[in-house]
Amino acid sequence: MVSSNLRPLIAGIVHDVFKNQRFPDQAIAWHLKKQRSLNSTEQGQVAEWTYELVRQKRLLETAVGVQADSAAVWEKLLGFAINIRQGKLVEGHPLFSHYQAALATRATRLSITDWLDEQGEKELGERWESTITALNQAAKQVLRCNTLKTNSVELLKNLQAQGLKAEALPGDALFLDQAGRLFQTQAFQEGWFEMQDFNSQQVAPFLQVQPGMKIIDACAGNGGKALHLAALAANKGQILALDSDPRKLEQLRLRARRAGVNNVESRHIDNNKVIKRLEQKADRVLLDVPCSGMGVLRRNPDTRWRLDAAQLSRLQHTQADILQAYSTMLKPGGMMVYATCSIFPSENQAQIGHFLEQNSQFSLDEERVLDPVETGFDGFYMARLKRL
């Protein structure tokens, strides 16, 4: 399952995540840089079990009866987790009764905080347990084909020819069974694809862009959706990618260069004047707002340990402020999409409802809830509004 030489490495990475408040993907990348002898299969095992331990922290600590405060303890918990996976935790095992007791409480069984369990039930009611259970699974690896350079049929052939197991999904998406050496392929170097969850790929088309439009991606981040918008607009027109973090915009510029995108201009939001100068300038506006990230818990399992009531409240205020301030950039007759990767209605339908009550010049054109239970992918919400 996991070779003995990898276990100290995995334990050390997970300890680094919690001790130094690092994101799992960053900690994995940093530690693997010092382990160049590992092959792609071993690197995959390191990533898989790092995420599994972060995800199952509360359940494992409760069942074993320890607090994970050192790499040595994490290695012990890793061994316990492997026993669970292999079906060895049966009656007669020294910790069998402890494990059964841990499973009796929902928050412990699902390995989440009590606050999150209460909030989830408040927001989703009877759908909460099935939803968080689905989000406790490992994330699926999905690619978005860059149609500015190729098509999904050619990309699929290219990846399969290199021994990568992939299959086509609707639209321009490909499901990847195992990443392996994906980022060493020529297809990646030449910008033929981006990693992007299937449901995340539904946001940009929902904006209904056309070539030649002026489009504003107002919370662009690293630019995944801006690049998708550029492909949908056939590299024509103008896409303004705005963000308050200049480091993310630099990543966007690098990704755009690799993808062959030339109609995206990044702009740092460092004051309100940037928004004011863009008043009623855009045909389309995308507001992929900061949120709790509860819909992408599969790929960011540490969120469950970081999120609390105060943070959720701050995020909700930020979402409302962005909706109100950034909606002024839309021309009359234009369309705006508000999107989150959250499953909580308080960040989704409630925000849109409040905004429409306060802004009679906007109407709801369509809204979609992409449920992780029903779709098997990440949880997303999107609402398309029209400025009358």
pLDDT at position 264 is 96
The mean predicted confidence, pLDDT, of the chain is 95
pLDDT at position 311 is 98
Please give the order of strands across the beta sheet that includes 193-195: 166-168, 173-176, 141-145, 193-195
Average pLDDT score over residue span 153-162 = 93
**pLDDT digits 0-9 by tens, 212-229:** 999 999 999 999 999 999
Average pLDDT score over residue span 124-138 = 97
pLDDT class for 180, splitting at 50, 70, 90?
Answer: low
For residue 181, is pLDDT > 90?
Answer: no
**pLDDT digits 0-9 by tens, 288-300:** 999 999 999 999 9
pLDDT at position 72 is 97
Average pLDDT score over residue span 136-163 = 94
Enumerate residues 6+ apart whose C-beta is below 8 A from 102. Answer: 59, 62, 63, 108, 109
pLDDT at position 39 is 87
pLDDT at position 248 is 94
Determine the residue type at 28: I
Beta strands in the chain (DSSP E): 141-145, 166-168, 173-176, 193-195, 214-217, 238-243, 264-268, 282-288, 330-340, 362-370, 380-387
Determine the residue type at 285: V
pLDDT at position 179 is 63
Q: What is the DSSP string of 121-188?
A: HHHHGGGHHHHHHHHTSPPPEEEEE-TTT--HHHHHHHHHHTT--EEE-STTEEEES--TTGGGSHHH
**pLDDT digits 0-9 by tens, 57-106:** 999 999 999 999 999 999 999 999 999 999 998 888 899 999 999 999 99
Give the C-alpha separation, 77 to 13, whole Å. Answer: 13
List the domains of the chain with CATH numbers: 7-111 (no CATH), 141-195 (3.30.70.1170), 200-387 (3.40.50.150)
**pLDDT digits 0-9 by tens, 1-39:** 788 899 999 999 999 999 999 999 999 999 999 988 898
Average pLDDT score over residue span 343-372 = 98
Active-site positions read 341
Q: Within 10 A of 215 (CB to CB), how many other CB atoms are there?
A: 27
What tokens appear for 370 in the block?
Answer: 């992409």
pLDDT at position 37 is 87
| In contact, 386 and 363? CB cutoff 8 Å | yes
Give the C-alpha separation, 194 to 240, whole Å. Answer: 20
